[in-house]
Amino acid sequence: MNQNQIKEQELEIEQFRLSKILKSLNKLKVIGTSAVSLYIPPKKIISEITSRLNSQYSEAASIQDKVNRIAVQDSIQGTILRLKKYNKAPESGLVLFSGLAEFEKGQKKISYVIEPFRSLQLSLFYCDTYFHVEQLEPLLKLEPIYGFIIMDGNGALFGTVQGISKEILKQFNVDLPKKHNKGGQSSLRFSRIRYWARHNYLIKVSEQAKNCFIYDDKPIIKGLVLGGIADFKNKLAESPLLDKRLQPLIISIVDINYGGENGFNLAIQNSSEVLQNQKLLREKDLVSKFFLSLDLDNGMVVYGIVDTMKAIEQELIKQVICIQTLEYSIIECISKQTGVKSIKYLKGLDVYTQGSIFEDNKGEQFIVSSCQDLVEYLAENYRLKGIDLQLISDNSAEGYQFYKGFGGLAGFYRFSMKMQFNMDSDEEVWKSEDDEFI
């Protein structure tokens, strides 16, 4: 990968990690007003922030409700403790969330420290009934949005593609006169009817394009792709009816054999040249590469949660494909019966606290040492493991097939793992396709 691709990948992973934190914070039920949200601007001296927090701690003593008072002071104190490792805020700023939340198994202290991957010039402090994460949400929408208009003789579709997400914004049908006139109508009259019907169709498409792609008097898209059957798309591109702010954004006009949603999917595929950096196309290429390796049976891929994770821990993997919504937990545990330590991968995102006990399908009981979301674990440790982590969605047909058919996690080996069996010695000989591998 070149430097731009590496930066895009790192940005994607950071966005994923941030989105997980924000979703988690949004779901929490906080005790009283103990949700502390602190935004510190870049290079701010932390001792000044600590002094302000100490003042807030003192003021919290006047809260009449005892439960709320203790919860608020604990949250502020927790924030102060988390700041001790800093002399000043990082160059991108610093964000802290601390609070006391209610769970099924009781109350638990929550604390997050975030160093944003983009500079945040914010100085804010909230002590509220919920965490103020709205200032971080724009960081999740840094990728460009491309608009699509799909036109045929039956109607038009308006959609957007942003990263791995596609969205249909608007769709309508039309009933246009065919090329041949009905009996009893003169050719000239029928030609006029047909002309004005098509002209009104262009007017409606142009109006809807403005409604879909322009907000607050500015285009919300980086580029516009026109697709469809026959000459409708070309007429729209040349028409003065199309908003002048959208015309310069036309980056591609593609011929497709379908209208509607199928046409939308085909237009995305046929616009690969101009959208080559869009993740929706990248993930299709990744999954196609995986399927091709399976067909070739070249010993270069592994799939499934357990097998892939074992290969990652043994540092045999160079690239990992992972569905970003994969719901598995990685649990370090000790067998209650034998005392043997092990790592388990459990389906679902149930939070097991340290010391809790679970039972496997064989009836063996295990005491939990630690529990973490599996995708979060990979996002945090991919550099340490020396892997190229590619997070994809199941929005595309290929992604969905990969998720349902192969567990949503797979890896490409650093070298071929095909084994040749020496029947005389019963030894396994590993065959490498990488001459430089030692």
Q: Going residue by residue through the chain (438 aa), what tens digit of pLDDT does each one get? A: 555 566 767 888 888 899 989 998 998 999 999 999 999 999 999 999 999 999 999 999 999 999 999 999 999 999 999 999 999 999 999 999 999 998 877 788 889 999 998 888 899 999 999 999 999 988 887 778 899 999 988 899 999 987 767 889 999 998 877 665 555 566 777 678 778 888 899 999 999 999 999 988 889 898 899 998 878 899 999 999 999 999 999 989 999 988 899 999 999 888 877 776 566 777 888 999 999 999 998 999 999 999 999 999 999 999 999 999 899 999 999 999 889 999 999 988 776 778 888 888 888 899 999 999 999 999 999 989 999 999 988 877 888 899 999 999 999 999 988 753 333 444 444 343 343 333
Could you tell me the sign of the dihedral formed by the alpha carbons of 103, 105, 107, 110, in that order?
negative
- Shared domain for 291 and 422, answered yes or no, is yes
- Tell me the whole-structure pTM to 2 decimals: 0.65
* Residue 218 CA, distance from chain mean position: 26
Beta bridge partners of 304: none
- Shared domain for 68 and 125, answered yes or no, is yes
Residue 291 within a domain = yes
User: Rounded CA gap, 1 and 11, in Å?
Assistant: 14
User: Rounded CA gap, 309 and 343, in Å?
Assistant: 10
- Shared domain for 193 and 264, answered yes or no, is yes
Closest C-alpha to 407, from 269, 301, 334, 300: 301
Dihedrals phi, psi of 422, to nearest 5 degrees: -85, 105
Tally of domains in the chain: 3
Q: Residue 108 sits in a domain of what CATH number?
A: 3.30.960.10
User: Rounded CA gap, 52 and 43, in Å?
Assistant: 17
Non-local CB neighbours of 346 within 8 Å, separated by 6+ positions: 328, 329, 331, 358
Q: Which amino acid does the sequence have at 180? A: H
Contact assessment for residue 153 and residue 197, using Cβ atoms and an 8 Å cutoff = no
* Residue 246 CA, distance from chain mean position: 28
**What is the CB neighbour count within 10 angstroms for residue 8?**
17
Residue 357 within a domain = no
Contact assessment for residue 170 and residue 158, using Cβ atoms and an 8 Å cutoff = yes
Residue 369 within a domain = no
- Shared domain for 152 and 211, answered yes or no, is yes
Q: How far is CA 27 from CA 117, 130, 345, in A?
A: 23, 9, 24
Query: Range of 299's domain?
Result: 283-326+374-430
User: Rounded CA gap, 64 and 349, in Å?
Assistant: 38
